[in-house]
Amino acid sequence: MVNILDTLTGLLPRPADVRPKDWDSVRRRLGADLPADYKAFIDTYGGGYVDNYLWILEPGCANEYYDLFEAIEERAEANEYLWSSSEPKPAQLDHADARIIPWASTDNGEFLYWLAEPGQHPDQWTVMVNEARGPWWEHFDLTLTRFLARSLTGETRSEILSDLFPSDPHDFRPSGLFG
């Protein structure tokens, strides 16, 4: 079986001096676990900026705009407002207790989420992409790292994300560089 993180490290330059997260502390703060591939990505790269477009959110990021905890709160509030006032919920959220959890955003205002369905282990969560300021959603039956790797190779294309993503060569800059 191919290790997707190995595929990503072959595509995306790794930053130096990444400190692993205290995932027990993160789990306690969230009240839930996160997918193992996300935790491995963050322990390898940290949060950051992929190909001058995609911001991978990180728990406890010093920059509040790229902090996973902040994004979870902000997106839950924003989506509830939109769904109760003007926009339809994505069909994937019709299941009782299904939810979305943001893991990335873009310069254009799109958000990428995990789709967490009832009874699913976090490693089974798939990817949802929401257009900026609109009701269009895409669902990808892929994990975060598989979605990212396939997006970087061009194997998977989102109609919502910019045509300029991914770039060539690929680039990764840690969120800590953006104060």
Which tens digit of pLDDT belongs to each residue from 143-157?
999 999 999 999 999
Q: Look up the CATH number of the domain holding residue 38.
A: 3.40.1580
Which tens digit of pLDDT belongs to each residue from 73-111?
999 999 999 999 989 999 999 888 999 999 999 999 999
- Total count of domains within the chain: 1
SS3 annotation, the chain: CCCHHHHHHHHCCCCCCCCCCCHHHHHHHHCCCCCHHHHHHHHHHCCEEECCCEEECECCCCCHHHEHHHHHHHHHHHHHHHHHHCCCCCHHHCCCCCEEEEEEEECCCCEEEEEECCCCCHHHCEEEEECCCCCCEEEECCCHHHHHHHHHHCCCCCCCCCCCCCCCCCCEEEHHHCC
Residue-range definition of the domain harbouring residue 163: 4-177
The pTM score is 0.95
